[in-house]
Structure 1
Amino acid sequence: MAEFRRLLRAIPWRLIDLDQAGIGGELPEPGEGYAENAAAKATAACLRSGLPAIADDSGIEVLALRGWPGPESARWLGPDAGDADRLRALVDEVERRTPDDRRVRYVAVVALARPGAEPVLARGHCDGVLVAPRGEAGFGYDPGFFSGDLGVTFGEATAEQKDRVSHRARALARLAESELLQWSAGYR
Structure 2
Amino acid sequence: MARVVLATHNAHKAREFQQILGDAVPGLEIVGYDGPEPVEDGVTFTENALIKARAAAAHTGLPALADDSGICVDAMGGAPGIFSARWAGRHGDAQANLQLLLDQLAELPDGSRAAHFTATLALVTPDGAETVVEGIWPGRIAHEARGEHGHGYDPIFVPDGHDATAAELGPEVKNAESHRSRAFSAIVPALRELVAAAR
Report what 2:24 is aligned to. 10
What is the CA–CA distance in structure 1 between the aligned matches of 2:163 and 2:87, rounded to whole Å?
28
What is the CA–CA distance in structure 1 between the aligned matches of 2:96 and 2:87, rounded to whole Å?
11
Structure 1 residues 75 and 184, CA, compared in 2 at 3 Å: closer, same or farther?
same
Task: Map 1:41-80; keep pairs closer than 5 Å.
Answer: 41-79=52-90
Partner AA of 1:17 in structure 2: G
- Which of 148, 165, 173 is the matching residue for 2:177? 165
Partner AA of 1:182 in structure 2: R
Deviation track 1:25-53 (CA, whole Å, cap 9, x = no partner) reads 53431201010001111111111111111
Deviation track 1:101-153 (CA, whole Å, cap 9, x = no partner) reads 11111011110111112321001101111111112222211111112334422
Preserved contact between residue 54 and residue 110 of structure 1 (Cα < 8 Å): yes
What is the CA–CA distance in structure 1 between the aligned matches of 2:172 and 2:64, rounded to whole Å?
24
Structure 1 residues 46 and 153, CA, compared in 2 at 3 Å: closer, same or farther?
same
Partner AA of 1:5 in structure 2: Q
Report what 2:46 is aligned to. 35
Report what 2:192 is aligned to. 182
Preserved contact between residue 69 and residue 117 of structure 2 (Cα < 8 Å): yes
What is the CA–CA distance in structure 1 between the aligned matches of 2:141 and 2:159, rounded to whole Å?
9
Q: Structure 1: where are the runs of 5+ without partners?
A: none
Partner AA of 1:181 in structure 2: L
Structure 1 residues 182 and 71, CA, compared in 2 at 3 Å: closer, same or farther?
same
Question: What is the deviation of 1:163?
Answer: 1.4
Preserved contact between residue 29 and residue 37 of structure 1 (Cα < 8 Å): yes
Question: What is the deviation of 1:169?
Answer: 1.1
Partner AA of 1:172 in structure 2: F
Q: Structure 2: where are the runs of 5+ without partners?
A: 1-12
What TM-score, normalized to structure 1? 0.86
Preserved contact between residue 149 and residue 165 of structure 1 (Cα < 8 Å): no
